[in-house]
Each structure stands twice: as structure tokens, then as C-alpha cells.
Amino acid sequence: MQGEHEDELRTLRARAYGPSPDIHTDAVAVARLAELEATARERDASPPARAAADVEAAPGTEAVAAPGTELFPEAAASAPPASPPARRARPRWAPVLWPVSVVAALSAGAAATSVAMPLVSRDAGAGASQVTTLQPDPGFEWPVGLFGPPSDDAQGFADFLGVTAIASSRGAYQPGGDGACLLLIPTEDLAKQPETGFTWVHSGCGAGPFPATVAFTVERQMPAILRDRFPVGTAMQFVLDGERVGVLVEAAE
């Protein structure tokens, strides 16, 4: 840029960026400032010309090639173009924060899901949903008259709407064996210890990898508190999973 243009650029910049800017009222000056600044940027971005191009050989002398150089170098047009000025590198942390935030969000979502998921890991299957998980009842006592004396591994679970689940190696159709069985009896009968027998008993035993499961439909003789929530005819399932019992019910249509 010539000296006069540099002086003009300094003057316009003072009007634009100085302590008392007034260039915003002069549209012509604003346009001229933009033009001169663009020219200055282009000048700064251009690589300096090689000094050898500006030097002329002295009269009467012959250009002598330096040892090891070609006497007939390739035309300048074949030389690779000068690389454009490098862009300012973007901060390396900028693209990294997004994946980290996604991982953090996913981790938080996974933690929330693990808390909300049922404790029993059995597949409820299509058309069914798990409504609760029963935990062991530390005060449980084996009811008198229920398939003989209690087994050593008998375990009762918390009441569920008037129904008590009992895990044992003894079931209605398995007097003894290695497989675990699950019994369902009315909680009211468990408290009364009736001599005439229980109002109803449902039983199911596991085999190999299959857990002990009791599936039934709600009937009129079952506790009213159960029928109030799940009407007569509703299909239900109790599944023994280690020291827990999952309660599943058919999905409402």
C-alpha cells in the first residue's frame, strides 16, 4: 500500500476507533475504510517477493549456476502455489465438550433408569407389566398345616393386597426336591392359622433355569382389597427371583 493510502487508512481508523468516533455519520468514509482495510489484509497475506527476482545481473556478466543446481530449472509456473495463510486453529476443547456432555447425560439417564426399573430382572413378556417387587419378611413364621413341617429354606415375603408369597423347596405338587417352589396363600389365613385348611392355595415350582412361577386369574374368593385394584378375571403372575418376588399383571386393553 502506498504511503498516502497508509496515511488515509490511519485517519479513517482514528475516526472509526478513536476516542471520538464520527465515521458512522459519513457513509463514503465508512465504505472507503472497508476498502482500504481489505487491501491491507490482502497485502499482509501475500508472501514477500523473492529478492533474487528484483536483482538484475550486472552488464557483461554471466549468471553462474551454483554447484549442484540445474542449468535449466523448470518454469516458475510449475512451482507449487504459495500456501494460503493458515486459519486460526479452533480451540481443541470445543469439540470435546460435546461428547463429554453427552456421555454425562447418558450416564445420568442410565443411573435414573436403573433406579426406576423393577428389581426382578425377568422378562414380563408382551401384554404384561410388573407392578411391584416383594421383599423378604423377617418376622415370617411357617403356617401350621401347610404341607407338613417347615423346610429349612422356607422364606415368607411382605403382604401384597391380602396375599402372602412363600418360597420353599416344598410345594403342592413337589413334596420334596432340589427345585424352589412358590406358594401363595391368603394373608388373613396365615394370621388365623385355620384348622380347617386355607381358603385357597396357589403353588408353582421351578425347574433348571426356569424360576418358580405362579400364574392365576383373580377370583371372587380372593381378598377384597386385591379385587378392588385388579377386578375378577385379571391375569396375574408371581415370579420368584432369588430373594425377591416380582408381581406382574396383564396390561389393560
Residue 196 included in any domain:
yes
- Supply the pTM of this predicted model: 0.50
Model confidence at 235: pLDDT above 50: yes
Grid coordinates representing 160? 401384597
Task: Give the highest mean pLDDT range of 27-36, 87-96, 120-129, 210-219.
Answer: 210-219
Average pLDDT of the chain, as a whole number: 72
Number of domains present in the structure of the chain: 2
Query: Where residue 107 falls among pLDDT bands split at 50, 70, 90?
Result: very low
Rounded Cα distance between 151 and 167, Å, is 10
The answer to whether residues 133 and 246 belong to one domain is yes
Residue 71 included in any domain:
no
Residue 57 included in any domain:
no
User: What are the tens digits of pLDDT across the range 145-185?
Assistant: 676 777 778 899 999 999 999 998 866 555 555 678 899 99
Rounded Cα distance between 143 and 164, Å, is 11
Residue 166 included in any domain:
yes
Rounded mean pLDDT of 46-57? 50
DSSP states of the chain as a string? --HHHHHHHHHHHHHHHSSS--GGG-HHHHHHHHHHHHHHHHHHHSPPPPHHHHPPPPTT----PPTTS-SSPPPGGGSPPPPPPPPPPPPTTHHHHHHHHHHHHHHHHHHHHHHHS-S--S---TTEEEEEEEPB-TT--PPTTSSSSPPTT-EEB--BTTEEEEEES-BTTBSS-SS-EEEEEEHHHHHH--TT--S--EEEE-BTTBPPEEEEE--TTS-HHHHHHS-TT-EEEEEEETTEEEEEEEPP-
Query: Where residue 93 falls among pLDDT bands split at 50, 70, 90?
Result: very low
Residue 67 included in any domain:
no
Residue 53 included in any domain:
no
Residue 19: its pLDDT value, please?
66
Residue 51 included in any domain:
no
The amino acid sitting at 128 is A
The answer to whether residues 139 and 30 belong to one domain is no
Model confidence at 127: pLDDT above 60: yes
Q: How far is CA 16 from CA 12, 19, 26, 27, 72, in A?
A: 6, 9, 10, 12, 53
Rounded Cα distance between 13 and 239, Å, is 82
Q: What is the extent of the structural domain holding 36? A: 1-46
Crossing angle between the packed helical segments 27-45 and 3-17, to the nearest 10 degrees: 120
Residue 146: which of 96, 202, 66, 91 has the closest Cα?
Answer: 202
The answer to whether residues 133 and 243 belong to one domain is yes
* Partners of 160 in the β-ladder: 163
The answer to whether residues 42 and 139 belong to one domain is no
Residue 123 included in any domain:
no
Residue 172: its pLDDT value, please?
57
Rounded Cα distance between 38 and 22, Å, is 21
The answer to whether residues 132 and 26 belong to one domain is no
